[in-house]
Structure 1
Amino acid sequence: MLALPLSWPLENRQVVLIGAGAWATRKLTLLRRTPATLHLFAPLADLADALPRWPQPAELADAALIIVAFEDRAMAEKGAALARTSRAPLNVVDFPDLSDFHVPAIIDRGSLSIGVATGGTAPVLARETRRKIEAAVPPSETHVAAFATALSPRLREIFPNTDDRRRVWETLLQSPAAEVARTGRIDEALALALSHIDAPRTGVVHLVGAGPGDPELLTLKALRLLSEADVIVYDRLVGDGIMDLARRDADRFYVGKERSNHSVPQAQIHELLVEQARLGKRVVRLKGGDPFVFGRGGEEVEALRQAGIDVHITPGVTAALGCAASAAVPLTHRDHAQSVTFITGHAKDGDSENNPLMLDWSALSAPHHTLVVYMGVATAKIISDKLMSHGRMPDTPVLVIENGTRRNERRMQVSLCTLADALHATPPEGPALVIIGEVAGLYQDTAAAVITETLRINA
């Protein structure tokens, strides 16, 4: 560790800023978010509300810290020399050799602030790391920080013992009171927290969409819930790497299903969710894609509500949207498709031998209409035959996307009349989505194009 990150209280403290240009303006924007009393000096007279001159030594005597911000090194050195007439700690922006301390890259969440420092050696790395942390600490944490600040004095009165207070905080920050605080209703959250301090802890279940596979497609809320969960019940379709983002000490239950191999029956999943919630646990039911798009989320909500369990839904990027975007295929297009329909090729009882679903095949077979089929590999022949018998042209483009958005994504472009044979010849090993319609013809295999171009150049 090259430098020691510190938290520096600035309430009722004086801070002096000497500078000009964009660097000084950025520092001024940062300082105005603090409670410090600011004294601004701009020798080049281009800094808002600043005195257009160098400060006098007496004007620096009471400074808690001084920041000098000039892009020109000669000006920065002059400002630093003047600041040294005071004993205040000095930061010279972007010139660490002239500085006593460095200002880290900051994630500002109100009274919660996070600094990322590299000892002044790699500020761009600090900014990139800050960007990643900001994604993991959503803006709603500003409200939670305000809630914690307001509640802290009261908890100190009620729980003088530090260990007791810590245990209460651990409970409250994962309670409904914290959820209310995240919406900005601080007074309501405080009342709820105080009323539930001595109450038995009640569980909650969050149905969370994990997206089609790529961990970066998780929503900020999904990421937060994963980091807070006591229990995670997850599917086979949850992408590699997503569980690595979950709370490490959470209990994990795998309930994955595969075609013709339902390792955990749905009714048993319902029982597991209810059981864990009744133990007072915060349960995350993690589903690939979106919980309410062929994810049985509706069935689980019904079961939880009948059991009197509090349940919340966090949507995810569904496979149709994620896979289509990964292949750069629009599901709607003014020239090719004015509507899109999502269907499943898998019947509830698994018996799709003769007719997978009771669907309006005439409507689904209309031209300039995109049809996205989930779980349709096993029933591809039935679906393609139904569509063609109701008027869909045999040469209609089809794109099959296996393991969409993941590192091992594979795509296959065929026509409607050859779909079943192609899937039989090279059956997908992972989850596959089938896009049927004119838009599938817009797909371009960029990898093949690059190889072709390379061969042409080398020839």
Structure 2
Amino acid sequence: MPPRSSQPSETAPRRGRRRMEALAVLPVFFDLQGKRVVLTGGSDAAAWKGELLAASGAHVHVFANELGCVFEELIQEGAASGWFHWHKREWEPSDLEGAGLAVCDAADMTEAARFHSAACAAGVPVNVIDKPRFCQFQFGSIVNRSPVVVGISTAGAAPILGQAIRRRIETLLPPALAAWAALAGRLRQEVTERLKEGPPRRLFWERYVDRAFGAPPGRDAGRNIIDDCARIAQARKTGRVTLVGAGPGEAELLTLKAVRALQAADVILFDDLVSDGVLELARREARRMLVGKRGGRESCRQEDINDMMVKLARAGKNVVRLKSGDPMIFGRAGEEIARLQAEGIPVTVVPGITSASAMAAALGISLTHRDHAQSVRFVTGHSRHGRLPEDMDWRAVASRRTTTVFYMGGRTAASISATLQEHGLPGKTPAVVCSSVSRPKSRRWTGTVAEIGEGMAEIGYDEPVLIGVGAVFGALAAASSVERPAVAHA
């Protein structure tokens, strides 16, 4: 009996999806330009905090009987933006009145508690250096491409990790980004006036960002970009569709191009197998619609999905059709592309890692190991009627020198086993069944072709499975068992 059809639905609350996972801390950026900030202590640690505060434009009032040599030198040199005023005495509670922030390098827990209480009484956000119990906010690691500023926090759990992350981000953000960001600030008003809110304006800024990760802006960069505005304003208002491969499940297996597409989307039509971790990388404002394509379960009709893409694109939306695995491998992408092209709607494809590749990586098995296989086949495990495809060349599929991976073959596993043997593949040929590849619930069974039906019964039918057949799996097939993959992908 074919599965029932359903209509696209927003976000699918029945699945418990969240647009934002839990945060250990809330990343907030304080505007301290011209604000009075209180800093107590003259140590090197206090000097570092003082330099950071002054660089943000704060007027830093330092309360300490003595200053270390680092702090003295810092005050003599002056700040890049704000300034320092040294009060050669201990702080008093009245000093905190009206301050924007309060930072203390406390000598002991008693002073830390007293400073924290005084700041709270004055209604001033407080940080006591290296004493998390008395901190209402934290200083994270910083990547400075002002006006672009990236803050990194580990909620105090692993400062060294935060520093390592900062070093990695430093290599990804070119120094020229600062100049591009400053230019964006100067152009923003004119862009706002010349382009309507929505797709035209966002398309402009997407093109702008592409430039920002290249060479520094030249003398005429501003004029060239404004000319871009005029062209965008006169362009057709039809949107576009991008078919994006979400990979087998783990968000880290997404391509960079896929992430960029998700960040630029107005609407995301996603399949039931797309993981929450992948959706977490999408633009927060993007509308999410579950189109529920999953074998053996209630699903949206393909015609309804096609109609929805056409309707949204005609409304000027940038639509991402997010598909599990790779859109071009058993993803019905051909039907969607044909419909969109017939309607004159621009469509592009971002490939994804297909599940068979992720399975091979997880098992540590080369699907084309030269000692065992000269080719690899990806084969559908069922036709549109739910049975094994009748028009398939099963004698070729049963070749002993080929590795074959069956997709969507869980409910036809016993038929796959029998048909392969009928067409000449020995029943003792190694086989593997993997469910939920690359996901936390991933499981595997290893055995032989003759035992595939039994293996499926052990694995179960609740999660998507791949069935691998061929000599390359021989090292895994010493005994049939259900277990997690022993080798994780990189």
Length-normalised TM-score, structure 2: 0.62
- Per the alignment, residue 374 of structure 1 pairs with 407
With over 3 angstroms needed to count, the CA separation of the structure-2 counterparts of 1:79 and 1:147, relative to structure 1, is closer
- The one of 430, 433, 436 aligned to 2:466: 433
- Per the alignment, residue 336 of structure 2 pairs with 300
- Per the alignment, residue 244 of structure 1 pairs with 280
Q: What's the % identity of the aligned pairs?
A: 36
- Supply the AA of the counterpart residue of 1:379: T
* Structure 1 counterpart SS, 2:277: coil
1:180 Cα offset (Å): 5.7
With over 3 angstroms needed to count, the CA separation of the structure-2 counterparts of 1:408 and 1:369, relative to structure 1, is same
Contact 2:442–2:485 (8 Å) recurs in 1 = no
With over 3 angstroms needed to count, the CA separation of the structure-2 counterparts of 1:249 and 1:339, relative to structure 1, is same
- Per the alignment, residue 395 of structure 2 pairs with 362
- The one of 295, 308, 313 aligned to 1:272: 308
- Per the alignment, residue 412 of structure 1 pairs with 445
Length-normalised TM-score, structure 1: 0.66
Contact 2:270–2:323 (8 Å) recurs in 1 = yes
Q: Deviations over 1:197-249 (max 9, x none)?
A: 36564312111111111122222332333233221101112124333333344
User: Is 1:352 aligned to 2:352, yes or no?
Assistant: no
* Structure 2 counterpart SS, 1:256: coil
State the distance in 2 between where 1:105 and 1:297 align: 43
With over 3 angstroms needed to count, the CA separation of the structure-2 counterparts of 1:306 and 1:128, relative to structure 1, is farther
Q: Deviations over 1:11-54 (max 9, x none)?
A: xxxxxxxxxxxxxxxxxxxxxxxxxxxxxxxxxxxxxxxxxxxx
Count of residue correspondences: 372
With over 3 angstroms needed to count, the CA separation of the structure-2 counterparts of 1:4 and 1:438, relative to structure 1, is closer
Contact 1:207–1:284 (8 Å) recurs in 2 = yes
1:310 Cα offset (Å): 1.6
Contact 1:109–1:139 (8 Å) recurs in 2 = no
Q: Deviations over 1:124-146 (max 9, x none)?
A: 242355479x5xx9959989876
- Point out the more displaced range, 335-344 or 178-187: 178-187
- Point out the more displaced range, 188-197 or 412-421: 188-197
User: Is 1:126 aligned to 2:162, yes or no?
Assistant: yes
- Supply the AA of the counterpart residue of 1:440: F
* Structure with higher RCO (Cα < 8 A, 6+ apart): 2
State the distance in 2 between where 1:217 and 1:210 align: 8
Superposed CA RMSD in Å reads 4.5
- Map 1:94-109 → 2, pairs under 5 A: 105-107=141-143
1:121 Cα offset (Å): 9.9
Q: Deviations over 1:294-349 (max 9, x none)?
A: 111222112111111122222111111112222333222233333211111222x3
- The one of 191, 207, 215 aligned to 1:177: 207
- Point out the more displaced range, 185-194 or 304-313: 185-194
Unaligned runs of 5+ in 1: 10-63, 66-76, 91-95, 451-459
- Per the alignment, residue 424 of structure 2 pairs with 391
State the distance in 2 between where 1:145 and 1:297 align: 40
State the distance in 2 between where 1:143 and 1:221 align: 22
* Structure 2 counterpart SS, 1:245: coil
- Per the alignment, residue 266 of structure 2 pairs with 230
State the distance in 1 between where 2:437 and 2:159 align: 36
Q: Deviations over 1:138-193 (max 9, x none)?
A: 9599898766655654553575xxxx589659853445634764785986765433
* Structure 2 counterpart SS, 1:257: coil
State the distance in 1 between where 2:26 and 2:453 align: 61
Contact 1:206–1:283 (8 Å) recurs in 2 = yes
State the distance in 1 between where 2:464 and 2:358 align: 13
With over 3 angstroms needed to count, the CA separation of the structure-2 counterparts of 1:342 and 1:197, relative to structure 1, is same
- Per the alignment, residue 318 of structure 2 pairs with 282
1:6 Cα offset (Å): 7.5
State the distance in 1 between where 2:343 and 2:177 align: 30
State the distance in 1 between where 2:213 and 2:27 align: 36
* Structure 1 counterpart SS, 2:247: coil
1:279 Cα offset (Å): 1.1
